[in-house]
Amino acid sequence: MTVAQLDTMPERRGLIFSAVLHLLVVLAVVLGLPSVFQTHIDEEQPFVVEVVNIGPKTLATMKTFTPPKPKAPPKVVQAEQPKPTPPQPQQAKSAPPPPPMPKPADVQVPEKQQPPKPEVAPQPPQPPQPLPPQKRQDLAFDTLLKNLASKPLPQDQTAQQPAKPQPSSQPIAPLGAQLSVSELDLVKQQIEQCWNVPAGARGAQNLTPEFRVSMNPDGTVRTATLLNPERLNDPFFQAAADSARRALFNPTCQPLKLPPQKYDQWQTFTITFDPKDLS
Amino acid sequence: MIRLLRPFALLILVALCALPLSARAELHLDITRGKIEPLPIAIPAFAGGAPSANDITQVLSADLERSGLFKPIDPQAFVDKDPASHIPPNYNDWRVINAQALVTGSATPMPDGRLDVEFRLWDVFAQQQLTGLRYTTTASNWRRIAHIIADAIYKRLTGEDGYFDTRIVYIAESGPLDHRIKRLAIMDQDGANNRYLTDGKALVLTPRFSPSTQEITYLSYARGTPRVYLFNIDTGQQEVLGDFPGMTFAPRFSPDGNRVIMSLSLHGASQIYTLDLRTRRAVQLTSTDAIDTSPCFSPDGQHIVFNSDRGGSQQLYVMNSDGSNIHRISFGSGRYGTPVWSPRGDLIAFTKIDNGQFYIGVMHPDGSGERLLTSGFLVEGPSWAPNGRVLIYFRQTAADARGRGSSSRLYTIDLTGYNEREVVTPTDASDPAWSPLLP
């Protein structure tokens, strides 16, 4: 009997142990891995990433030793998007191209989708975007105006300087067939320095002449055709279109700094002149 | 049949596959920045042999330079010193000196003594003619022709109407401060052709042009008490406006030129009246115990801006043209006065006094966007150029302890707050008013 008791006691104890351990395992599963039992599905958070080619001569790499300030990414752009995590410039530094790789689990990379560019690299700071176009234009022009009440005037002076090459953290990538962002930036900056903004344009709205430009292989402009000539009877628009045409043919901007080996990419292109970012 | 089509189907399939490749997006650039610099412009001396040809070029060049939007290139730098006016220029000659625009022209004396002036404006980079005009006038009119050409060039290159063919009426001041002689004077906007309209026996103030530019309304003490007068520039005739019991002041024409709006002071208060110049009927628009003055119509004639101390301190108010819906628009610190509605309608210029300092500023008609353009010991009385882009005002410097050394001069400033320039007058000057474009 004693023997039997001795025999059965360990059996029962083992059973209890087993039950307790099972319970612990079940509890651990329930509490520790909540997602297994929860039917709640995370709200889908689309996160767009632009796939860009990085040219061998990224403007940005010239200044990589000065890490971009954390404030550099255009905050306002994010306001428009569902919930993108702001790209951390420091992260981007070590990350492969497309730099913003915040939470891999959340990132969906839609192929072929070309979102509004912003996150890629520290671009020149954009003005607040969510404003209506009219307001935006007003704001842009306001920055040109002197106001004794709101001081530091010297800023106005610096504001008129042509944009300097922005530091970037892009690593050098193999040459792509498309024009890279840095190549486009270079030619944009070149044209910006040749554009005398129509001086009388203050207050006139939507002066955005658009041209189709056909190029010679040596990078000089062959022809520039105005694509919205129907507005030429507006003297303000006419003056704006003329000033844009002068920018395209300005000898100090000839030839345009475009990579000769990609001539088929830029032998014709369209270009819009919009003084919205004048600041 | 189907079998026959099969090879074609394959062809179509291949073609469809190739389609997206050929329809790839065209490269697009968005230029959103540019330079804000005066446009380099070359203005070689006009050909044609008229004695005034050189003068026309100089007046034209000076007009454009003074606007602050153009930078005439020194003729010493020209490769082609004497370009023909009627054929396209050799653009390379002008491109090398970085001229973005080129003006060629001629002034030729005609057998009947008149002057034949023509000009062409060329876009050097785009290699095309932008505009070209021709005028025939009496030889003595060369200065006006130069201003008219400057207006045409300004308009073609900026899109905005010019303001060079205009005049300025002002109060010419001379003599010691305690015995000041004030005369009504008129001159071209560049200071030329200055002449005096009154002899200085009576004190005159606040002259304003009529839209026809032939009449000036102003305040004169000719009969002892200050009254609003009308002066005809052509005939030199003066007349008192209206038969009011008290003193009238701060007159200004309505945009259609048929009415004059002014203040009438009676029993310590000032009210705003309009007087119809055709019927001579007066209409009272405000009725307070306060001082309502400096009224000015909006360019569409629908509203009136004025300053009033009805709220305790002198501030700007806007009302409908019938006197209804009076509301205050200035809420900054300090006092506001002499409001003037821009001919473009988008802004109101004013004088502001804050902490003992005077300012000239602008704000939108709803009171938003106040911007101070210039300041000084005494800057006052802004008046708009007809294109609503430039303001003229007067600037007085402080006198020393013995009451000497004070000066009062006219200045213009661009609406952007830059390009402040003196308009040179033979004597001290105050209360300038810019005329509309001459007809």
Residue B363 belongs to domain spanning: 167-434
Weakest-pLDDT range from A208-222, B224-238, B346-360 = B224-238
| Same domain as B386, residue B330 | yes
In a domain, B32, yes or no: no
- Kindly indicate the confidence band of residue A12, based on its pLDDT and cuts at 50, 70 and 90: confident
The pLDDT value given to residue A178: 77
CATH code of the domain containing B213: 2.120.10.30
Region B59-66 average pLDDT: 95
- φ/ψ (deg, to 5) at A244: -65, -40
Where among B138, B158, B178 does a domain terminate?
A: B158
Give SS3 for B273.
strand
In the sheet that B378-384 helps form, which strands lie side by side, from edge to edge? B378-384, B390-396, B408-414, B421-423
Contact A246 B125 (CB under 8 A): yes
Q: Provide, as residue numbers in chain B, all residues whose Cβ is less than 8 Å from the Cβ of A163.
A: 33
B311's CB contacts (< 8 A; 6+ apart) are: B328
Contact A273 B31 (CB under 8 A): yes
The answer to whether ipTM exceeds 0.85 is: no
In a domain, B138, yes or no: yes
Give the residue from B344, B360, B421 showing the smallest Cα distance to B67: B421
In the sheet that B39-42 helps form, which strands lie side by side, from edge to edge? B70-72, B39-42, B101-109, B114-123, B128-138
Region A33-53 average pLDDT: 59
Q: Provide, as residue numbers in chain A, all residues whose Cβ is less than 8 Å from the Cβ of B369.
A: 142
In a domain, B4, yes or no: no
Where among B102, B136, B158 does a domain terminate?
A: B158
Q: What is the pLDDT of residues A75-124, one digit of tens each?
A: 443 444 444 444 444 433 333 333 444 443 343 433 433 333 333 333 33
What's the whole-model pTM score?
0.72
| Same domain as B173, residue B147 | no
The pLDDT value given to residue A48: 61
Weakest-pLDDT range from A196-200, B121-125, B230-234, B414-418 = A196-200
- Asked whether the beta carbons of A183 and A258 are under 8 A apart, the reply is yes
A154 in contact with chain B, both atoms CB, cutoff 8 A: no
| Same domain as B290, residue B153 | no
A39's CB contacts (< 8 A; 6+ apart) are: none
| Same domain as B393, residue B312 | yes
Look up residue A274 and give its two tokens: 């919009």
Helix, strand, coil percent content, chain B, rounded in steps of 5: 15, 45, 40
Give the residue from B85, B131, B89, B130 showing the smallest Cα distance to B107: B85
Domains (range + CATH), chain A: 136-279 (3.30.1150.10)
| Same domain as B247, residue B101 | no
Closest CA–CA distance from residue B270 to any residue of chain A (Å): 31
In a domain, B3, yes or no: no
Q: Which of residues 208-267 of A touch B (CB under 8 A)?
A: 234-240, 242, 244-247, 249-252, 265-266
**Cα–Cα distances in angstroms (integers) from residue A95 to residues A60, A77, A226, B181, in the given order:** 15, 21, 42, 79
| Same domain as B335, residue B239 | yes
Residues written for chain B: 439
| Same domain as B113, residue B183 | no
Give SS3 for B253.
strand
B70-72 and B39-42 beta bridge pairing: parallel
**From B69, B159, B416, residue closest to A235, measured CB to CB:** B159
Contact A204 B159 (CB under 8 A): yes
Closest CA–CA distance from residue B123 to any residue of chain A (Å): 8
In a domain, B145, yes or no: yes
d(C-alpha B255, C-alpha B211), whole Å: 7
The pLDDT value given to residue B336: 95
Report the run of H or E that residue A24 belongs to, with start and end: helix A2-27
The pLDDT value given to residue A279: 38
B127 in contact with chain A, both atoms CB, cutoff 8 A: yes
Closest-approach residue (CA) in chain B for A161: B35
Closest CA–CA distance from residue A195 to any residue of chain B (Å): 5
In a domain, B119, yes or no: yes
Beta bridge partners of B379: B395
| Same domain as B142, residue B211 | no
DSSP symbol at B386: T
In a domain, B214, yes or no: yes
Q: Is the pLDDT of residue B200 over 50?
A: yes
| Same domain as B153, residue B188 | no
Closest CA–CA distance from residue A120 to any residue of chain B (Å): 17
- Asked whether the beta carbons of B298 and B342 are under 8 A apart, the reply is no
| Same domain as B202, residue B83 | no
Region A205-218 average pLDDT: 87
Tell me how far the alpha carbon of residue B70 is from its chain's centroid.
17
In a domain, B22, yes or no: no
Region A241-268 average pLDDT: 89
Give the residue from B406, B47, B160, B188 showing the smallest Cα distance to A235: B160
CATH code of the domain containing B72: 3.40.50.10070
**Cα–Cα distances in angstroms (integers) from residue B10 to residues B2, B6, B15, B19, B291, in the given order:** 12, 6, 9, 14, 90
Weakest-pLDDT range from A91-95, A142-146, B63-67, B82-86 = A91-95
Q: Provide, as residue numbers in chain A, all residues whose Cβ is less than 8 Å from the Cβ of B29.
A: 184, 187-188, 191, 269-272
Closest CA–CA distance from residue B65 to any residue of chain A (Å): 13
Percent of chain B with pLDDT over 90: 63
Q: Provide, as residue numbers in chain B, all residues whose Cβ is less than 8 Å from the Cβ of A145.
A: 371, 415-417
**From A197, A266, A278, residue closest to B27, measured CB to CB:** A266
- Kindly indicate the confidence band of residue A222, based on its pLDDT and cuts at 50, 70 and 90: very high
d(C-alpha B171, C-alpha B246), whole Å: 24
- Kindly indicate the confidence band of residue A139, based on its pLDDT and cuts at 50, 70 and 90: low
| Same domain as B286, residue B246 | yes
Where among B158, B183, B206 does a domain terminate?
A: B158
Q: How many domains does chain B have?
A: 2
| Same domain as B259, residue B188 | yes
Q: Is the pLDDT of residue A158 over 50?
A: no
